[in-house]
Amino acid sequence: MNLKRLFSIAGLLLLTVVFLNTIMLTSPDCEKCDYALKELPLEACTVVMVGKEASEDGSVITTHSADCGMCDWTWRHVPAADHEPGSTRKIYYISQIRTWPPEQGLKWDKIKENFTDLEIPQVPHTFAYLHGVFGYMNEHQLAMAESTVGCRPKMNNPTPVAKFDITTLTLIAMERCKTAREAIKLMGSLSEKYGYGYHDSGEMLAVADANEVWVFEIMPVGPLWTPDSGKPGAVWCAQRVPDDHVSVCQNESRIGEIDLDNPDYFMASPNVISHAVEHGYYDPNSGELFNWKKSYSPSEYSASSSRGTRVRLWRFFDLVVPSQKLSPDIPNMELPFSVKPDKKLSVQDVITIMRDKFEGTPFDPVRGLQGGPFKNPNYLPRPFKLDGKTYNTARIIGVNRSEYVTLTQSRSWLPNPVGGIVWLALGVLDTSSFMPFYIGITRIPGSFKIGDHWVFNRDSARWAFDYVDFHTQVVYSRAIKEVRKAQGKWEGSALARTPTIDALALKLYKNDPSQASTFLTDYCNSNAKSVVDAWWKLGDDLLVKYNKLWVYDAKTRKMNRLQYPEWWLRLLVEYDKLVPQEPPKKKK
């Protein structure tokens, strides 16, 4: 063995030792982790997928609730571009979570400081697309949504030998691919060749186009992998959602048994089974069929046994197929990959699912004392510890830590610039408003490109929605009624006029595609500005109305007492042992 090879192996072993703690701390089933760190990767995002024959209007729909709570929330429109022959595309590490202080620069400039030392051949032409933390839709209506699913601890590969993370994969696919199948094959091949991991563990992407939607799951293959090994640097699998079905991913692996002899519904890396056999995750002599999720990301929980932390999967099926009366006691690993919904879903139906807070179920977060006097479903959104014991609370779908929520529509009956829409709601969906961005636009508002969790900024669109959300939390059951009115006015009207906008844009497109692009750009940007302005005013109005926990009526200029519910007052009297005031004695 030559010295160069020896030093290479020694360096790799050193990296393995250095990153061992990282593997343990980021592992979803590490028992020594702080509970918040342990739960964050697995409780971050919800993705809903709707096949074209399961949607009311024939759209292929995906959603992504980016439930990080501290991630970058900025958005960009990346224009199409031509590239010189022989040019290369640099690959950067892009953390889903890391942000920088605004004075240091925007995330999408700062990532260029994290060059992986890998450059791949550039293609002659790259497509236009919209992206936030991930790429969401390109000019060919290729759409994506993400959910972290985790993997077995020793599969993680946080070493710099792995050149691709999940964000970078989505951006490359947006630049180069027209269909879901193309994107899956490209992301899979790049990961196999150059390695996957670094920032990320097991990840799921909903990959859709105007005709179909797939669940794509990818995982690292451990910190000892090198390109010289001759083995793939990732293991991945993809399953197509039947056109008349709906599916969901809620931070748990969703693909079960696979049939690689049916390429119309399954795709996978060449090591999809052999890697599991090699590492003891699957025994081919067991008599059992290979099961992707049970091999690489097993979980024993049900909605009931997890006491609500793993309830989203059951709740989704409870909402879309109530006729089946599925029990919350069914282990999540045994629930179906997809189902045909009892009725076809409209965009509004999907939005309602994404806002769901388990009302009327045993996991309702406002039952008993948890919601407080004003029935706030956002109290205790994570498990808590008391006297050394852990108490779980329901992890609702419409959770209160979203950076933004997307809903993509890919529509085959319209030309791409008109057919593709990214509906974007900044901040927490409960108190935000979806705004449409047709994929044919050429720019987005400047206020969507800036902002930071730690610095209040009235020039940032996102802060308008956080501003409303903050003032809603104080007296939730009362304030949310006014938010719902605003959502009906702005979000509801945007949904209602979509057919009209479609028709106008289509007419312009047939005459001159550039006219359609200008029209859609102006419409989307103008609408977004109006919504953001309306939310700043709504926040001001809520602040004034419920200032000091009173009720200030701006029309009558009167101040009234905020009424607390009787049940809460009774509990207050009981807990604090309050004594009623005796009436004054009558004077003799």
What is the rounded distance in angstroms from the CA atom of residue 480 to the CA atom of residue 472?
6
Which ranges of 327-406 would DSSP assign to H, the alpha helix? 347-354
Mean predicted confidence (pLDDT) in 13-32: 37
> Is the pLDDT confidence value at 21 over 50?
no
The tokens describing 135, both together, are 């790429």
Task: Give the residue carrying structure tokens 């292929």.
Answer: 60
Closest CA to 476 of 425, 403, 546, 380: 546
Are 27 and 153 a contacting pair, CB within 8 Å?
Answer: yes
pLDDT at 586: 81
- 133 vs 21, higher pLDDT: 133
Which segments within 195-326 are labelled E, that is strand? Answer: 203-208, 213-219, 235-241, 246-249, 266-268
Distance CA 490, CA 436 (A): 11
Residue 421: pLDDT above 90? yes
Banded model confidence at residue 382, pLDDT cuts 50, 70, 90: confident
* Site of tokens 């009931």: 304
Task: Judge if pTM exceeds 0.85.
Answer: yes
Question: Is 40 a residue whose pLDDT tops 80?
Answer: no
* pLDDT tens digits, 215-240: 999 999 999 999 999 999 999 999 99
Q: Cα(191)–Cα(180) distance, rounded to whole angstroms?
A: 17
pLDDT in tens, 573-582: 999 999 998 8
User: Which of 232-246, 381-395, 443-457 has the lowest average pLDDT?
Assistant: 381-395
CA distance linking residue 565 with residue 310, whole number of Å: 31
Q: Is the backbone of residue 564 left (phi > 0), alpha (psi -120 to 50) or beta?
A: beta
Neighbours of 82 (CB within 10 A): 8
Quote the tokens at residue 265.
């519904």
Q: What is the pLDDT of residue 24?
A: 36
Residue 393 has pLDDT above 80, yes or no: yes
For the sheet containing 45-50, what is the strand order?
246-249, 45-50, 60-66, 404-410, 421-426, 435-438
Between CA 468 and CA 510 the distance in angstroms is 41
Six-digit token string for 82: 């031509």
Is pLDDT above 70 for 12?
A: no
Question: Which tokens belong to 543?
Answer: 């602040």
Whether 90 contacts 115, CB under 8 Å: yes
What pLDDT score was predicted for residue 7?
A: 36
The answer to which of 14-28, 140-154, 172-186, 269-283 has the lowest mean pLDDT is 14-28
pLDDT at 587: 76
Rounded distance between C-alpha atoms, residue 173 and residue 127, angstroms: 9
Burial class (CB in 10 A: 0-12, 13-18, 19+), 416: buried
- For the chain, percent helix, then strand, then coil, each to nearest 5? 35, 20, 45
pLDDT(4) > 80: no
Q: Is the pLDDT of residue 1 over 90?
A: no
Tokens of 249: 């991913």
How far apart, in Å, do the first and last CA atoms of the chain sit?
111
Backbone angles phi, psi at 27, to 5 degrees: -70, 135
- Annotate 538-577 with DSSP letters as a single string: HHHHHHHHTGGGEEEETTTTEEEEPPPPHHHHHHHHHHHT
- Higher pLDDT among residues 55 and 21, named by residue: 55
State the Cα–Cα distance between residues 454 and 101, nearest whole angstrom.
8
Question: Where do runs of H (alpha helix) occur along 324-474?
Answer: 347-354, 416-419, 461-474
Neighbour-count burial of 74, counting CB atoms closer than 10 A to its CB (0-12 exposed, 13-18 middle, 19+ buried): buried
**pLDDT score, position 584:** 86
> What six digits make up the tokens of 83?
């590239």
Mean pLDDT over each residue of the chain, to the nearest integer: 92
Give mean pLDDT, residues 275-295: 96
- Could you write out the DSSP letters of every residue in 171-205? HHHHHH-SSHHHHHHHHHHHHHHH-B-TT--SEEE
Q: Which residue's entry shows tokens 């605003």?
A: 486
As a whole number, mean pLDDT of residues 171-191 equals 98
Pair 328, 309: CB distance under 8 Å: no
Q: What is the DSSP letter of 480?
A: H
Give percent of the chain above pLDDT 70: 93
Helix or strand or coil: residue 274? helix
Give percent of the chain above pLDDT 90: 90
* Burial of 259 per CB tally in 10 Å (0-12, 13-18, 19+): exposed
The residue-averaged pLDDT of 527-549 equals: 97
Q: Quick check: 47 pLDDT over 50? A: yes
CA–CA dist 422, 431 (Å, integer):
19
Two tokens, residue 266:
């399954």
Strands 203-208 and 213-219: antiparallel
What confidence category does residue 3 fall into, taking pLDDT thresholds of 50, 70 and 90? Answer: very low
- Which pLDDT does position 43 carry in this prediction? 58
pLDDT in tens, 308-366: 999 999 999 999 999 999 999 999 999 999 999 999 999 999 999 999 999 999 999 99
The per-residue b/e assignment along 357-391, b for 16 or more CB within 10 angstroms, e otherwise, is: bbeebebbbbbeeebebbbbbbbebbbeeeeeeee
